[in-house]
Every structure is written in structure tokens, then in C-alpha cells.
Amino acid sequence: MSTSGRKITEKLSGQALREATGKDWDGWFALLDAWGATGHGHTAIARHLVDAHGVPGWYAQSITVGYEQERGLRAVGQGSGGDWQASGSKTVDVPAHLVTPWFADDTLRARWLPDGGFTLRTHRPGKSVTADWDGGASRISVHLTAKGEGKTQIGLGHTKLPDADAVAAYKAFWKERLADLKEQLES
């Protein structure tokens, strides 16, 4: 399995994990091994961490993903169901309600996302956008989060990708496209 990006254990330090949950990566991995976690699915592992060990939800998900990656059950960029997904985010100095049209309106979108194969499915102004990509072969989900007065975090997920190579390519693609969108929005 080829991988792209960094494992969650490289993004979240063992020290930060210990401060938040009482154990570092090695401590959680040993506990999950003793429980037989490789014989359980993603949801069961995360639920066990919450129910039996009081781990808060986000950390339970992070520990589960880290465990799955470390034990070869999941590659970087691979979802719990085996699908492949890429993501990107960018904070812009524009209110969320002004960001939505740049995804929903064909003319505005063409200024930063030329020839994208983007087919709008739904949009909630100032909140979210969903679209098919490349004739429906994959899907785009955009979530807009207000970050104070006049700032918005754009979180973009691209799911149903065919493999790890597509994840790597789309991570780079969306990083570039979101940077261009930021420039367009703020000019």
C-alpha cells in the first residue's frame, strides 16, 4: 500500500496525547493490543475508548486511526471503510456567506477552479456545499466555519478516490486551488 501525507502519530505528539488522555501513543496501542483491537472494526474500537476509558470523542477517533495506521489496517488517506479521501483547508478574511457563491455560482467558480468537473449537488449559504466531481466518480464536501468577525475557515473533503496516488495528487491540487480561491476572495 502506498501512502501519502503523514500518519496521525506524526501530527499529534505523544506528549500532547498524554496531556489530553493520560496515555501516549505507545500506552494506547498496548492497551488496544491487550483488548484485541485488531479483531474489531473502527467504530467498535473508538466506542471502547470512550465507554471503557473515558476518552473524549475526537481523541478516541484519533487514537483509533493512529492504531489502525500503525497496525497496517489503514493507510494514510484511507477511510475506515477502505475508501480513499483527501482534504484541505484554508482560512480567508471574508464572512462565510460571501464564500458560498464562489462554489455555487459557475462564473465565480471558474475564476479559481477552471475545468474542474464540479457539479453542484447542494449548498447552504454560509454553511456548506456538496458536489460531484468528474461525472460523479468522486464527491466534494465543503464546510464553512466562522472564525471571528469577517473570517471563515473553508474545510474541503474529497471522497471516493480510487487510491493513495489520487489522494496525494488531490491534496496538492486542493492546496493550490484553495490558495487561489483565498487570493480571489480577498482581492
Query: Are 112 and 102 contacting, i.e. CB atoms less than 8 angstroms apart?
Result: yes
The maximal CA–CA distance of the chain, rounded, in angstroms, is: 56
Read off the pLDDT band of 185 (50, 70, 90): very high
Residue 15: CB atoms within 10 Å: 10
pTM of full prediction above 0.85 = no
* Domain locations along the chain: 8-70, 84-186
In angstroms, the CA 167 to CA 149 distance is 33
* pLDDT tens-digit series, residues 90-122: 999 999 999 999 999 999 999 999 876 899 999
Domain 84-186 is of which CATH architecture? 2-Layer Sandwich (3.30)
Q: Is the pLDDT of residue 57 over 80?
A: yes
